[in-house]
Amino acid sequence: MKRRDFIKSSIFALGGTALMTAGYGKEKLIKSEGQVIKRKYKDIEVPLLGFGCMRLPMDGNKIDMVELEKMTEYAFAHGANYFDTAYMYVDGNSETAIGKVLKKYDRSSFILADKSPIYKMNSQSDVRKIFDEQRKKCQVDYFDFYMCHNINLNTFEQYRNVKMVEELNKLKEEGLIKYFGFSFHGTPEILKEVVKDYKWDFAQLQVNYLDWDVVKAHEQYNIVQALGIPVTVMEPLRGGGLVNLSEKAMAKLKENYPNATPAEFGLRWAASQNNVVTVLSGMSNLKQMKENIATFENFTPMSEEEIKVADEMAKIIQSQGEINCTACKYCMEVCPKGINIPAIFALYNQYKVTNSAFHLKIYYETLSENEKADKCIKCGLCNKNCPQNLPIPDLLAEVQKEYEKAKASA
Amino acid sequence: MLYKIRFGIAILIFITAILGITGIFYPLPLFDIQTAPLIQRVIIDFTVISIASLAIILLLTLLFGRFYCSLLCPLGIIQEITALFRGEGNEEPRKNLPVKYFITAITLGVMIGGSALLIRYLEPYTYFGSAFTLSIIGIIALIAIIVLTLFKNRYFCTNICPIGCLLGLLSKLSLFKMYIDKNECLSCGMCERNCPSGCIDSGEQYIDNETCVKCLKCKGLCPKDAIKYGIKPKEEVIFNPKRRELITFGAALIVLAGAIKAGIEIGKTAAEKIKNVILPPGAENAQRMFNKCLNCNLCVNACPNKILTKADKDFGAVHIDYTKGEKYCKYDCIECAKVCPSGAIKKISLDKKQETRIAMAVINPDKCSKNGACIKVCPVNAITKEENEPAKIDASKCIGCGRCKTVCNSNAIEVFAINEQQRV
């Protein structure tokens, strides 16, 4: 073959391959045997387990796209096609990553939820600007579920000032948002105000057996239920807090239900509330996803006895004086000193449960110098962002004190 | 004649440079057209203006040779002035040593990789800047270069300076060259004895355009007017790399590649531990500033409040010290960003500067004397106070200018360094 012929034929071959791959485009859905149970919501069906995209699988500092791909595939195969992302998740990379993996699937085959970051809005026009940015990042034309993100004590004023409801309602009328709701981390008093603002399609609340009391989730739930607003559940396991149970709480669970796992128990508790559309769980690897999906394949609501056990477990956990941090990392978005607040609180909580000063000391010392609690300057910027309204600087000082003690005793 | 005109312009530029660097009078952005900061600016922001400015310098060099060294480079002009004291006619031709190619490859490579750590200790513009702002390294380097000049004129330019080396390579290929008209030349050696770069071999009737800084001195001295500055007639091959030269360049290229890689590593690790430093608005974070600032200290004198300070033992680049000068950063001032020629301090607008948090002020409620003095001076209205209560700072508004601390009579306010400049 002459050189020219060779080049010609290779170009044809390459072009052909490109055309073929383009033709295949969308991935075919292969359904497997076990399917996540679905609940009817308005005119669609929503899987009872949703994929929360705040704690995506990580490979160092980057999102592990290979694992994420595997997880999405598995989720689709089992009918768990609800994805819940937000502007600020994973340092703003969650939307892009989810957009990349969902691109392969037909738009009607998945339900995508996204949220409008209130703290980013300086004027009413910003709402649409950021909405368009989000559509671009997620590579979609419309969002099925869309929320005002994290309405709480501190953001409430801004949320009203920039007229988010007005602006987002326009988007809904244009068909770019199917269902319009809000995610909420405030007090029942504020919630009563928020529900007046709009005929909400849904409310995203922090519902789990511990927060039922702690953040007055019960009251919040009742407020929206009375108005017939369905609930999507976030933090059903408190960012893993209800998975890594203390010895006492674990003993309580095992004593009554030796076969139950804490994750399964927590998820079932949240899903057992009848006004709940879906329970969002932030899954960080395929193993967690497999377990959670198994929980929802043959889901049965909790019996009264089970709920009683959960109540008792909540009391045990509350009595241990742990910090109610869900590791959402919103504080770290703003901390000017870059203190690793969630990690410090996690260490502290572990210490509260195990009472091992030795472990507190060695784990605390694995943090880098700049991430430690003593770098806190008490500016209070974090407080504004904390959905749990924790007095972070004071708590950091307390942890530091405990660490000093642990260090002295070791 | 040409020499005198050139020297005159050079002196004017030199005086302007001194006035500029000492902060007395800065009429034209003279430092924006210095080669090393321009290269740095292209690396940092890659904007049309920076690329175009650098392209103009390089293209002019390709046309006329190393004019930068004798016309714009302040350090070059200092050497020329110094050389006036070493008498006339005692220069010697010198070898073009290949060491400089490696110096250039290493320093520029590391800079391209992301760290100005090496270039700022070897680059003429910075030496000039730091010496005239009384930085110890700058003064020592300047004295060393002056002393060197008294022994061997422009030795730094021809055999050490990485910028000179880079421009020299372009000069080698330039359209306009200095050359000797062999029909006229008497080989009297007048030019050779007076050439500050030692690049003329009158015996061979040859001028090395790589080290020639186009000072034009020889042209006026030649009794037969045999030295020409223009397009060299094609009597010999213009660029004839000999084997040895090729090997040198090859080796230098390998070193360059290695240096770029090292530069990337240095850029990542250097200054990682230094976080406790307040930087001028637009510098973003300590690591970036440490890697990008050339330490020319132009901003130090431009700052009207004199809070900017030279590199010291705490931090190896320019930074803010709130214990100096007026002790706070002026709200409606962005002088440092305006003058920074390298882009280490980004050329942000005044509006953006007023929204950039460079530090964080915190009030200690136990010490607060509750007189409310800080409330009045805060430019962003971040401080509020209830009756008989200590004042409170709204952290989300505070830009860390330090103004409040200057009026506090009870020492209750502390201004803390932050990791990364933020928009409020």
| Residue A20 domain-assigned (yes or no) | no
Same structural domain for residues A93 and A165?
Answer: yes
Which of B355, B368, B419, B424 would you mutate first to test chain A, the one with the most A CBs within 10 A? B419
pLDDT band, residue B274 (cuts 50/70/90): low
Helices (H), B45-98: 48-64, 67-71, 74-83
Q: Nearest Cα to B126, choosing from B161, B91, B166?
A: B161
Looking at residue A45, its pLDDT comes to 93
B354 in Cβ contact with B370 (< 8 Å): no
For an interface test with B, give the residue of A120, A121, A371, A379 to mutate (most B CBs within 10 A): A379
pLDDT in tens, B258-269: 999 998 888 887
pLDDT of residue A244: 82
* Structure token digits, residue B238: 């213009």
B405 at interface of A, judged by CB pairs closer than 8 A: no
Task: Kindly state whether residue A324 falls inside one of the protein's structural domains.
Answer: no
Residue range B99-118, pLDDT digits in tens: 999 999 999 999 999 888 88
Give the 3-state secondary structure of residue A96: helix
> Would the CB atoms of A379 and B420 count as touching at under 8 Å?
no
Mean of all residue pLDDT scores within chain B: 88
Specify whether the CB–CB gap between B167 and B108 falls below 8 A: no
pLDDT at position A23 is: 43
What was the pLDDT predicted at A351? 83
Q: What is the pLDDT of residue A25?
A: 47
Q: Are residues A172 and A300 in the same domain?
A: yes
Of the candidates A398, A393, A368, the one whose C-alpha atom is nearest the C-alpha of residue A383 is A393
- Report yes or no on A140 lying in a domain: yes
B217 pLDDT higher than 80: yes
- The domain boundary, picked from A295, A318, A341, lies at A318
- Among the listed residues A32, A106, A24, the one whose alpha carbon sits nearest the alpha carbon of residue A74: A32
Q: Say how many CB pairs under 8 Å bridge A and B.
A: 36
Q: Give the residue numbers spanning the domain of B383.
A: 286-423
Final residue before a domain boundary, out of A271, A296, A318? A318
Residue numbers of chain A with a pLDDT score lower than 50: 22-25
**Per-residue pLDDT, A61:** 84
Q: Are residues B216 and B309 in the same domain?
A: no
Question: Are B36 and B135 a contacting pair, CB within 8 Å?
Answer: no
Tell me what pLDDT residue A311 has.
92
Q: CB A336 to CB B418 under 8 A? A: yes
- The per-residue pLDDT for A13 is 59
Q: What is the largest CA-CA distance in chain A?
A: 83
Q: Are A67 and A86 in contact (CB under 8 A)?
A: no
Query: What is the pLDDT confidence band of residue B423, given thresholds at 50, 70 and 90?
Result: confident
| pLDDT per position as a tens digit, A271-305 | 999 899 999 999 999 999 999 999 999 888 999 99
Percent with pLDDT over 70 in chain B: 97
Could you tell me if B227 and B290 lie in one domain? no
User: Looking at the partner chain, which of A337, A369, A380 has a beta carbon nearest the beta carbon of B419?
Assistant: A337
Q: Identify the CATH number of the domain in which residue B405 sits.
A: 3.30.70.20
Q: How many CA atoms lie within 13 A of B42 on its CB side?
A: 19
d(C-alpha A48, C-alpha B87), whole Å? 92
Q: What is the pLDDT of residue A143?
A: 96
Q: In chain B, whose CA is at the least distance from the CA of A154?
A: B396
From A266, A283, A318, the end of a domain falls on A318
Distance of CA A60 to the CA centre of its chain: 20
- B37-58, pLDDT tens digit by residue? 999 999 988 888 889 999 999 9
- Domain membership flag for residue B247: no
Residue B396 has pLDDT above 90, yes or no: no
Q: What angle do CA A28, A34, A35 make, to 5 degrees?
A: 70
> Is residue B147, in this structure, part of any structural domain at all?
yes
How far CA B185 is from CA of A183, A385, A388, B81, B92, in Å, comes to 89, 81, 89, 29, 19
* Residue A295 lies inside a defined structural domain of this protein: yes
Terminal C-alpha separation, chain B:
59
Binary contact (B395, A381; C-beta < 8 A): yes
Residue in chain A lying closest to B417 (CA): A337
In a domain, B67, yes or no: yes
Q: Which domain holds residue A398?
A: 330-409
Tell whether the torsion through CA atoms of A268, A274, A278 and A282 is positive or negative: negative
A13 belongs to a structural domain: no
Any CB–CB contact under 8 A between B420 and chain A? yes
Based on the domain organization, do A183 and A265 belong to the same domain?
yes
Q: Could you tell me if B110 and B181 lie in one domain? A: yes
The predicted-structure confidence for B57-97, as pLDDT tens digits, reads as follows: 999 999 999 999 999 999 999 999 998 888 777 788 888 88
Distance from CA of B414 to the nearest CA of A (A): 9
Q: Is residue A275 within 8 Å of residue A230, measured between CB atoms?
A: yes
Q: Are the CB atoms for A379 and A336 separated by under 8 Å?
A: yes
pLDDT value at B212 more than 70? yes
Give the C-alpha separation, B74 to B34, whole Å: 9
B27 pLDDT above the threshold of 80 = no
- Contact flag A338-B396 (C-beta cutoff 8 Å): no
Question: At a CB cut-off of 8 Å and minimum separation 6, what does A126 contact?
Answer: A120, A162
Q: With bands split at pLDDT 50, 70 and 90, how would you rate the model's confidence at B232? A: confident
Nearest to B172 by CA among B220, B216, B124, B214: B214
pLDDT value at residue A153 = 79
Looking at the structure, tell me whether residues A253 and A376 fall in a common domain.
Answer: no
If asked whether residues B52 and B200 sit together in one domain, one would say: yes
- Cβ atoms of residues B280 and B317 within 8 Å: no
What was the pLDDT predicted at B129?
86
What is the number of domains present in chain A? 2
Q: How far is A156 from chain B (nearest CA, A)?
A: 16
pLDDT at A12: 61
Query: Does one domain contain both A253 and A398?
Result: no
Q: Of B231, B258, B278, which residue is a domain's last?
A: B231
DSSP letters, A270-292, are: HHTSTTEEEEEEE--SHHHHHHH
Site from B275, B356, B366, B413 to mutate, A interface, most A CB atoms within 10 angstroms: B275
- ipTM of model: 0.75
The count of structural domains within chain B is: 2
> What pLDDT was estimated at residue A15?
59
Assess whether B33 and B179 both reside in one domain: yes
Distance (Å) from the C-alpha of residue A229 to the closest C-alpha of chain B?
34
Q: Which residue has the tokens 């501190």?
A: A154
The answer on A119 and A87 residing in a single domain is: yes
Selecting from B275, B362, B420 the residue whose C-beta is nearest the C-beta of A379 gives B362
Contacts of B293 (CB under 8 A, 6+ apart): B116, B120, B283, B317, B318, B342, B344, B345
pLDDT of residue A26: 54
A81 and A196 share one domain: yes
* Cβ–Cβ below 8 Å for A338 and B420: yes
A337 to chain B, closest Cα gap in Å: 5
Contact B367/A at CB under 8 A: no
With a cut of 80, say whether residue B241 has pLDDT above it.
Answer: no
pTM (2 decimals)? 0.72
The residue of B272, B284, B362 whose CB has the most chain A CBs within 10 angstroms, and thus the best one to mutate to test that interface, is: B362
Q: Please enumerate residues of A whose Cβ is less than 8 A from a Cβ of B.
A: 334, 336-338, 369-370, 377-381, 384
